[in-house]
Amino acid sequence: MPEGDTVHRAAAALDRALTGHVLTHTDFRVPQLATLDLSGGRVIRTLAHGKHLLTRIDHHQPLTLHTHLGMDGAWQLYAGTDRWRRPGTEARVVLRTEERTAVGFALRAVEVVHRRHEASLTEHLGPDLLGPDWDPDEAVRRLSSTPDRPVSEALLDQRNLAGIGNVYASELCFTSGVHPASPVGAVADLPRLVRRARAMLEANRDRATRSTTGDLRPRERTWVYRREGAPCRRCGTTVQSAMVGPAGRERRAFWCPSCQPGP
């Protein structure tokens, strides 16, 4: 699943390509919007909140296109008649201007609302780690409200703080020395974990190659994520992984049994 830094980069790319331009063609390939035509509308802005993308379009009235990448979604930009890099059957939204075409592939959510309802799309989310209104104290308060909840599960809950996915959840647990299944209340310094989360996403916000170790070389970019069976970078113990979380919403977590003893 794309992390918050990936979504913010996507928002920035869409903003650069589309903002200020008039849409010459639109195609919404989802049943509820199949007849919608926003051609002639002007793109005002694209921004991100956590993992949600909001593209503002003025078309007779102020509208907001809300999209969510889900597990496999992506927005891609093309010039002229460039061939798409993903199958057309995966396209869910096509926005075309005279110069560029933006295609949203395999999007989990696509909806268009009047802009007065835009706030309702993200009001359930916690503070955005990369947002202008980031509030670390509120993030700590929300995480602390369920002290018995497994820390990895709490970090992945976008209602606590918005932008963390599997990669950062595992890496933050490792750098904080807590097992993913340990309760939030067992984290010795929760404000520090939250500050580290912000720092990790900020460090990767403007680069396509994500690294939590500071090393951009292949296979050296993470501490434990996707390194099961490999030696821990700190102590040499074999990194382990398992599916954790509530039934039906399990995610794979990675940890070092020595650096992160189990609960």
- What's the pLDDT score for residue 71? 85
Residues 8 and 110 in one domain: yes
Residues 179 and 116 in one domain: no
- Burial of 144 from C-beta contacts in 10 A (0-12 / 13-18 / 19+): middle
Residues 85 and 167 in one domain: no
Strand partners, 198: none
The pLDDT profile of the chain, 263 residues, written as one tens digit per residue, is 678 999 999 999 999 999 999 999 999 999 999 999 999 999 999 999 989 999 999 999 999 999 999 889 999 999 978 999 999 999 999 999 999 999 999 999 999 999 999 999 999 999 999 998 899 999 999 999 999 999 999 999 999 999 999 999 999 999 999 999 999 999 999 999 999 999 999 999 988 899 999 999 988 999 999 999 999 999 999 999 999 888 778 889 999 999 999 87
Is 260 inside a domain boundary?
no
Residues 94 and 181 in one domain: no
- What's the pLDDT score for residue 263? 78
Examine the fold and report which residue of 121, 154, 183 is the final residue of a domain before the chain moves on.
121
The CA dihedral of 19, 24, 25, 26, to the nearest 10 degrees, is: 30
Residues 140 and 248 in one domain: yes
- Greatest extent of the chain over all pairs of C-alpha atoms, in Å: 62
Closest CA relative to residue 7, chosen from 42, 44, 55, 41: 55
Amino acid identity for residue 12 in this structure? A
Is 111 inside a domain boundary?
yes
Residues 219 and 155 in one domain: yes
Is 233 inside a domain boundary?
yes
Across the beta sheet with 100-105, what order do the strands follow? 25-28, 91-96, 100-105, 74-79
Q: Do residues 152 and 245 lie in contact, with contact meaning Cβ atoms separated by under 8 Å?
A: yes
Across the beta sheet with 109-114, what order do the strands follow? 42-49, 52-59, 61-68, 109-114
210 is catalytic: no
Q: How many CB atoms are closer than 10 A to CB 163? A: 29
Residues 80 and 47 in one domain: yes
- What's the pLDDT score for residue 133? 86
**What is the total count of domains within the chain?**
2
Centroid of chain to Cα 246: 20
Q: How far is CA 251 from CA 3, 68, 150, 155, 177, in A?
A: 14, 19, 12, 12, 19
- What's the pLDDT score for residue 1? 60
Examine the fold and report which residue of 121, 155, 182 is the final residue of a domain before the chain moves on.
121
Residues 178 and 106 in one domain: no
Closest CA relative to residue 117, chosen from 171, 210, 54: 54
Q: How many helices (H) and strands (E) does the chain have?
A: 5, 10
Is 128 inside a domain boundary?
no
- What's the pLDDT score for residue 12? 96
Q: Which of 3, 92, 153, 210 is catalytic?
A: 3
Q: How far is CA 108 from CA 71, 102, 129, in A?
A: 8, 17, 21
Is 68 inside a domain boundary?
yes
2 is catalytic: yes
Q: Do residues 36 and 112 lie in contact, with contact meaning Cβ atoms separated by under 8 Å?
A: yes
Is 127 inside a domain boundary?
no
Residues 115 and 178 in one domain: no
Residues 115 and 168 in one domain: no
CA angle (51 as vertex; 83, 177 as ends), nearest 5 = 120
Is 41 inside a domain boundary?
yes
Q: Do residues 22 and 83 lie in contact, with contact meaning Cβ atoms separated by under 8 Å?
A: no
Q: Which of 42, 115, 195, 251 is catalytic?
A: 251
Is 23 inside a domain boundary?
yes
Q: How many CB atoms are closer than 10 A to CB 97? A: 17
Task: Say which CATH number the domain at 20 has.
Answer: 3.20.190.10
Strand partners, 114: 63
Examine the fold and report which residue of 95, 121, 147 is the final residue of a domain before the chain moves on.
121
Centroid of chain to Cα 128: 10
- What's the pLDDT score for residue 187? 94
Q: Which of 9, 51, 142, 210 is catalytic?
A: 51
Residues 97 and 168 in one domain: no
51 is catalytic: yes
Task: Say which CATH number the domain at 174 has.
Answer: 1.10.8.50
Residues 95 and 44 in one domain: yes
> Residue 86 belongs to what domain range?
4-121
